[in-house]
Structure 1
Amino acid sequence: MTSLRQKGPLCSLAPAILPSAKTLPGRTITLEKLEPKHAEDLFNVTGGTDPARGSLWDYMFDEPYSDLKTFQESIASKSTSNDPFFYAIIDQRKTLPTFGKAVGYLSLMRMVPSHLNIEIGNVMYSSTLQRTTGATEAIYLLAQHSFHDLGYRRLEWKCHSLNEPSRRAALRLGFTFEGIFRQHMIVKGRSRDTAWFSILKDEWDTSLKSSMDKWLDAENFRDDGSQIKSLQDLRAELGA
Structure 2
Amino acid sequence: MDLHVCWPFETFETFEAFEALIAEYEVAKDPHYYAILDASGAPVGIASLMRINPDAGSIEVGGIAYSPALQQTPAATEAMSLLMSYAFETLGYRRYEWKCDALNAPSRRAAERLGFQFEGIFRQALVYKGRNRDTAWFARTDQDWPAIKSAHANWLAPENFDAEGRQRQSLRAFLSPC
TM-score range (shorter-chain normalised) is over 0.9
CA distance in 1, matches of 2:72, 2:108: 14
Q: Does 1:91 align with 2:38?
A: yes
CA distance in 2, matches of 1:145, 1:85: 13
Q: Does 1:48 align with 2:48?
A: no
User: Offset of 1:220 from its aligned partner?
Assistant: 1.3
Question: More strand per residue: 1 or 2?
Answer: 2
CA distance in 2, matches of 1:91, 1:190: 36
1:187 corresponds to which letter in structure 2?
Y
User: Offset of 1:66 from its aligned partner?
Assistant: 4.4
Could you say which structure has the larger radius of gyration?
Answer: 1
Secondary structure of the structure 1 residue equivalent to 2:153: helix
Unaligned ranges ≥5, structure 1: 1-46, 93-98
Q: CA RMSD in A?
A: 1.7
Residue equivalent to 2:9:
61
Residue equivalent to 1:173:
114
CA distance in 2, matches of 1:48, 1:214: 40
User: Offset of 1:162 from its aligned partner?
Assistant: 0.2
TM-score, L = length of structure 1: 0.70
Alignment of 1:9-158 (within 5 A): 48=3, 57=6, 60-63=8-11, 65-92=12-39, 99-158=40-99
Secondary structure of the structure 2 residue equivalent to 1:177: strand
> What do residues 120-147 of structure 1 show as CA deviations (whole Å, max 9, x unaligned)?
0100111111101111111100111111
CA distance in 2, matches of 1:62, 1:122: 12
1:227 corresponds to which letter in structure 2?
Q
User: Offset of 1:114 from its aligned partner?
Assistant: 1.2
> What do residues 165-194 of structure 1 show as CA deviations (whole Å, max 9, x unaligned)?
000111111111111001111123222110
CA distance in 2, matches of 1:115, 1:84: 17
Secondary structure of the structure 2 residue equivalent to 1:118: strand
User: Offset of 1:74 from its aligned partner?
Assistant: 1.6
> What do residues 191-231 of structure 1 show as CA deviations (whole Å, max 9, x unaligned)?
211000000111111x1111110011122112211111110
CA distance in 2, matches of 1:139, 1:127: 16
Q: Does 1:218 align with 2:165?
A: no
Secondary structure of the structure 2 residue equivalent to 1:202: coil
Return structure 1 stretches of 4+ with deviation > 6 angstroms: none
CA distance in 2, matches of 1:82, 1:169: 26
CA distance in 1, matches of 2:127, 2:119: 21
Q: How many residues align?
A: 177
CA distance in 1, matches of 2:158, 2:17: 39
Alignment of 1:188-203 (within 5 A): 188-203=129-144
Say which structure, 1 or 2, has more relative contact order (CA 8 Å, 6+ apart): 1
Residue equivalent to 2:168:
228
Secondary structure of the structure 2 residue equivalent to 1:108: strand
Residue equivalent to 1:10:
none
Unaligned ranges ≥5, structure 2: none
User: Offset of 1:62 from its aligned partner?
Assistant: 2.5
